[in-house]
């Protein structure tokens, strides 16, 4: 080997040695902190732990010794919380849209641009961070797309951009998991019944479906009552209409009250309302825990009416049980033709689910 | 056969001269000893409580080389002694040889644990870096009696700062003023003597990392059925916590005649120093109950008006949605710790599942830090939800039972009601 070759070989060896030393220094400075205090009382709280949710993260930790801090690195890893070791980025996690919406304690930080999808670097002009609690709240973080435990690695730096050797450090474990769901079905129902008498608020306890006015008179109002009970959980409520004819006997009729009127003995009248009346003293106001009321045309005491297909009750919401009492009156003139007068009335309740 | 012997006269002379020189050396050794009657201590040793070098990154405790105790043990010979000197030297234990005090070593500060007379009652310590002098008060009762074992501790010593062997040279004297001793290289008229070797070694540092851990799972499967007794059990994943509240077939429905319940189970393990909180957040953030319109309204509202004052009964027919959280159970297979339910979700007088439970669904508490933790508490409609259970210490395989309950009223609109409940465990490490 010539002298020139020997010199070249020695130079190469020196350069190689230098590179090895440089690499060792670099790796060492990356792994091992300069001062190495563990940050105290560390918490990372998620507002939503569902996979891939856009989430709010609350980070809190304590500086346990006063030191110059210019930046804080929060690195999210799937493998472990140990700073300086290789980090497996959580699948699907994205912190690039993170926004720091609040901070307490040693402050003045902002999110550095250019942070990776699994890290947030908070930077500021380097300043002393006293022994204190620091909190940071972020929005706009996309959770990992896979359930499981994840880790946040915290490192503080004297530099303002997360470069150089870190000083303090700490790890936090957090979870992305499925959450309970509760489902319940409330089936639709409509309770509606009619009868001469409904005992209590129970459609199972009904008596009668026939009202007998007896002998009609031009001098005295004849009257009778029936009841109906309604309840429904129809979201849009319900209405009750009725249909039928006035009292009829063959071709003879007793005039239906096409408009509201009081009872007038000696005048042909057939009508009803849904109130407690005094003339005649008959009927009852609506009862039950529900809230519906009669339509105005049928809600005036001592005022009667009979118009086929009229709506007598309407309520726009689900309603608990209501019991209505219909009071029917019949008056006839002196010359009312003899006969058996009959009317059949049908109530229809329509629930709007 | 004739054999001829040839003598190399010069070679024989060399051998003879060498033998003569060796004889002189061996014979002359005793002449080098300062005291003709001196005898060597038997059973001598100096045991260090810490062999670590001083001045390292370990500054206190074991391995730091500070505040070290040296236990000196020897058995005297026949001589009676009233004082003694111990010189610590880097070179060797040979009496009167050159002696350099070990670098970094400091003086002893006291004597204790005396078994014998040396260093005990009536004795005074005079110590400098690398040297210990002990002298009695000349009371014969305090003398080192020949043939006795002496043990005492020299305390408060800082070890040499370099690793390797160093030596102690010990000598006793008949009077209490160290005889004619003047230095380690001029030890004077000592009675007995002895040398020992000590070693400063590199401290063995063992580092183990325990990483932060948090394991929490929720399942409809009872933990008593979990094959592996933890969240990795296949039964956990096979029974996701999707509850359908109601009764009847083929479709279970809510009505006003019953309070229907559903049960799920959780298990938490964490080594978080300050424990953990479990927050529950309702997806129906406007009302906190069960909603049939995507959370706009809750026709089945949070029970008890969403009160945060304590659990209360749910009455059939009064639409309500609530949660009961049981006291925790440490899994029989190694579970450790407890997780305490929040009183909002647990009334200690109403804990019989499922017949006699009181429920809660806090929609009123303002978001704020949970006592003793960094994590937030609040209402189920708040940003981080309501703390339903918590622990202030690490736990392992600790289980709670969660019972959700609902009932409809006669006016609860027909529909399919849902709520997604984020159960979030947050450790404070």
| Residues B380-413: tens digit of each pLDDT | 999 999 999 999 999 999 999 999 999 999 999 9
Contact flag A181-B262 (C-beta cutoff 8 Å): no
CATH 2.60.40.3490 fits A33-176, yes or no: yes
Using pLDDT thresholds of 50, 70 and 90, give the confidence band for residue B14.
Answer: low
Which of B57, B212, B241 is best to mutate for the A interface (most A CBs within 10 A)? B212
Query: Chain B partners of A59 at a C-beta cutoff of 8 Å?
Result: none
Residue A39 is predicted with a pLDDT of 96
Give the per-residue pLDDT at B107. 96
Phi-psi label, residue B174: left if phi above 0, alpha if psi -120 to 50, beta otherwise = alpha
**pLDDT band (50, 70, 90) for residue B320:** very high
Q: What is the pLDDT of residue B102?
A: 97
Q: Alpha-carbon torsion A105, A109, A110, A111, what sign?
A: negative
Write out the DSSP string of A151-173.
Answer: EEEEEEESSSSS-S-EEEEEEEE
Q: Do A186 and B408 touch (CB under 8 A)?
A: yes
At residue A150's C-alpha, the angle toward residues A149 and A152, to 5°, is: 145
pLDDT band at residue A8 under the 50/70/90 scheme: low
Local confidence band at A21 (pLDDT 50, 70, 90 cut-offs): very low
Distance of CA A89 to CAs A329, B139, B230, Å?
A: 84, 78, 26
User: Structural domain boundaries of chain B?
Assistant: 37-200, 214-427
User: For residue A20, what pLDDT is reported?
Assistant: 42
Say which CATH superfamily domain B37-200 falls into.
Immunoglobulins (2.60.40.10)
Question: Which of these ranges, A26-40, A79-93, B74-88, B121-135, has the smallest mean pLDDT?
Answer: A26-40
DSSP 8-state assignment for residue B237: H
Q: Which residues contact B38 (CB under 8 A, 6 or more apart)?
A: B190, B191, B192, B193
Of A42 and A113, the one with more pLDDT: A42
| Kind plus residue range of the DSSP H or E element containing A76 | strand A67-77
Q: Please compute the mean of the pLDDT values over residues B199-215 and round it to a whole number.
A: 89
What is the rounded average pLDDT for all residues in chain B?
A: 91
Whether pLDDT at B9 is above 60: no
For residue A84, the chain B residues in CB contact (below 8 A) are none
Q: Which residues pair with B92 in a beta bridge?
A: none
Q: What is the DSSP letter of B343?
A: G
pLDDT of B355-370, one tens digit each?
Answer: 899 999 999 999 988 8
The H or E element spanning position B178 is none
Residue A32: its chain B contacts at CB < 8 A?
A: none
With cut-offs at 50, 70 and 90, classify the pLDDT of residue A70.
very high
Digit-coded pLDDT (tens) for A143-191: 999 999 999 999 999 999 999 999 999 999 999 998 899 999 999 999 9
Contacts of A135 in chain B (CB under 8 A): 374
pLDDT at B15: 52
Residues of A in contact with B406 (CB under 8 A): 182, 184
Strand partners, A315: A238
The percent of residues in chain B predicted with pLDDT above 70, rounded, is: 91
- Rg of chain A taking only CA atoms, in angstroms: 43
Provide the 10 A C-beta neighbour count for residue B342. Answer: 24
In contact, B380 and B362? CB cutoff 8 Å: yes
A174:B214 CB<8 A: yes
* Coil vs helix vs strand at B265: strand
Tell me, rounded to whole angstroms, the distance of Cα B425 from its chain centroid. Answer: 26
SS3 assignment, position A343: coil
> Is the per-residue pLDDT at B204 higher than 90?
no
**Mean pLDDT for the stretch of residues B141-170:** 96
Beta-bridged to residue A329, according to DSSP, are: A223, A271
Residue B127 · residue B107 · CB < 8 Å: yes
pTM of the predicted protein model: 0.75
Residue A100 has pLDDT above 60, yes or no: yes
Pick the residue from chain B with its C-alpha nearest to A190.
B410
Angle at B387 between CA B385 and CA B392, to 5 degrees: 140
Which B residues, 243 through 272, put their C-beta within 8 Å of a C-beta on chain A? 243-246, 251-255, 260, 262, 264, 270, 272
Contact B385 A47 (CB under 8 A): yes
Q: Which residue from B214, B240, B414 is facing A178, i.e. has the nearest CB?
A: B240
| A20, A145, B30, B88, B131 from B99: Cα distances, Å | 42, 71, 21, 8, 11
Residue A327 and residue A277 in contact, taking contact as beta carbons nearer than 8 Å: yes
Task: Spell out which residues of chain B touch residue A235, defining contact as CB-CB under 8 Å.
Answer: 413-415
């Amino acid at each position: 080997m010539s002298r020139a070759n020997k010199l070249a070989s020695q130079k190469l060896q020196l350069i190689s040695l230098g590179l090895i030393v440089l690499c060792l220094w670099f790796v060492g400075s990356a792994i091992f902190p300069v001062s190495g205090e563990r940050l105290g009382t560390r918490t990372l709280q998620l507002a939503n732990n569902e996979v891939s949710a856009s989430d709010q993260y609350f980070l809190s930790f304590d500086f346990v010794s006063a030191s110059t801090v210019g930046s804080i690195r929060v690195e999210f890893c799937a493998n472990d919380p140990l700073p300086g070791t290789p980090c497996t980025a959580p699948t699907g996690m994205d912190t690039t849209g993170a926004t720091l919406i609040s901070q307490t304690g040693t402050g003045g930080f902002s999110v550095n641009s250019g942070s990776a999808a699994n890290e947030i670097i908070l930077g500021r002009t380097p300043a002393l961070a006293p022994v204190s609690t620091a909190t940071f709240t972020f929005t706009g973080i996309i959770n990992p797309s896979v359930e499981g435990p994840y880790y946040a690695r915290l490192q503080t730096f004297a530099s303002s951009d997360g470069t150089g050797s870190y000083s303090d450090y700490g790890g936090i474990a957090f979870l992305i998991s499925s959450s309970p769901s509760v489902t319940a079905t409330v089936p639709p129902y409509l309770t509606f019944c009619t009868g001469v008498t409904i005992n209590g608020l129970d459609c199972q306890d009904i008596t009668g479906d026939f009202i007998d006015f007896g002998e009609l008179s031009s001098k005295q109002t004849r009257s009778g009552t029936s009841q109906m009970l309604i309840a429904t959980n129809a979201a849009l409520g319900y209405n009750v209409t009725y249909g039928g004819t006035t009292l009829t006997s063959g071709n003879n009729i007793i005039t239906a009250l096409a408009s509201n009127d009081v009872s007038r003995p000696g005048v042909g009248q057939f009508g009803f309302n849904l109130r407690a009346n005094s003339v005649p003293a008959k009927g009852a106001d609506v009862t039950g825990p529900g809230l519906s009321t009669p339509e105005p045309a049928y809600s005036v005491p001592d005022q009667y009416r009979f118009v086929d297909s009229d709506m007598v009750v309407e309520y726009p919401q689900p309603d608990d049980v209501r019991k209505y009492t219909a009071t029917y009156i019949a008056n006839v003139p002196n010359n009312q033709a003899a006969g058996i007068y009959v009317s059949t009335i049908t109530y229809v309740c329509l629930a709007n689910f | 056969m004739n054999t001829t012997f040839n003598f190399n006269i010069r070679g024989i002379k060399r051998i003879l001269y060498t033998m003569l020189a060796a004889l002189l050396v061996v014979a002359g050794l005793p002449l080098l000893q300062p005291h003709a009657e001196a005898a060597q201590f038997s059973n001598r040793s100096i045991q260090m409580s810490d062999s670590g070098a001083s001045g390292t990154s370990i500054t206190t405790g074991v391995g730091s080389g500070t505040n070290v105790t040296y236990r000196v043990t020897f058995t005297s010979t026949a001589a009676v002694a009233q004082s003694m000197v111990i010189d610590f030297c880097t070179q060797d234990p040979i009496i009167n040889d050159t002696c350099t005090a070990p670098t970094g070593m400091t003086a002893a500060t006291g004597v204790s644990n005396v078994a014998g007379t040396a260093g005990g009652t009536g004795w005074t310590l005079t110590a400098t870096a690398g040297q210990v002098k002990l002298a009695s008060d000349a009371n014969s009762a305090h003398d080192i009696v020949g043939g006795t074992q002496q043990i005492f501790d020299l305390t408060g010593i800082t070890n040499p700062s370099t690793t390797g062997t160093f030596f102690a040279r010990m000598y006793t004297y008949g009077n209490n003023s160290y005889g004619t001793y003047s230095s380690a290289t001029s030890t004077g008229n000592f009675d007995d003597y002895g040398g020992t070797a000590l070693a400063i070694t590199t401290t063995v540092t063992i580092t183990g990392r325990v990483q932060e851990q948090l394991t929490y799972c929720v399942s409809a499967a009872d933990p008593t059925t979990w094959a592996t007794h933890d969240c990795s059990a296949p039964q956990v994943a096979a029974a996701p916590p999707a509850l359908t509240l109601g009764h009847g077939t083929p479709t279970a429905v809510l009505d006003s005649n019953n309070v229907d319940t559903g049960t799920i189970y959780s298990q938490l393990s964490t080594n978080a120093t300050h424990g953990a909180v479990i927050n529950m957040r309702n997806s129906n953030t406007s009302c906190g109950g069960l909603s049939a319109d995507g959370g706009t309204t809750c026709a089945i509202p949070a029970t008890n008006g969403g009160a945060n004052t304590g659990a209360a009964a749910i009455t059939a027919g009064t639409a309500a949605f609530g949660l009961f959280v049981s006291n925790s159970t440490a899994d029989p297979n190694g579970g450790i710790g407890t997780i305490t339910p929040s009183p909002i979700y647990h009334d200690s007088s109403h804990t019989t599942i499922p017949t006699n439970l009181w429920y809660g669904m806090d929609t009123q508490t303002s978001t704020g830090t949970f006592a003793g933790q960094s994590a937030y508490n609040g209402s189920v409609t708040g940003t981080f939800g309501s703390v339903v259970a918590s622990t202030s210490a690490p736990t392992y395989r600790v289980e709670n039972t969660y019972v959700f309950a609902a009932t409809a009223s006669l006016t609860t609109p027909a529909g399919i009601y849902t709520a997604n409940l984020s159960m979030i465990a947050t450790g404070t490490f």
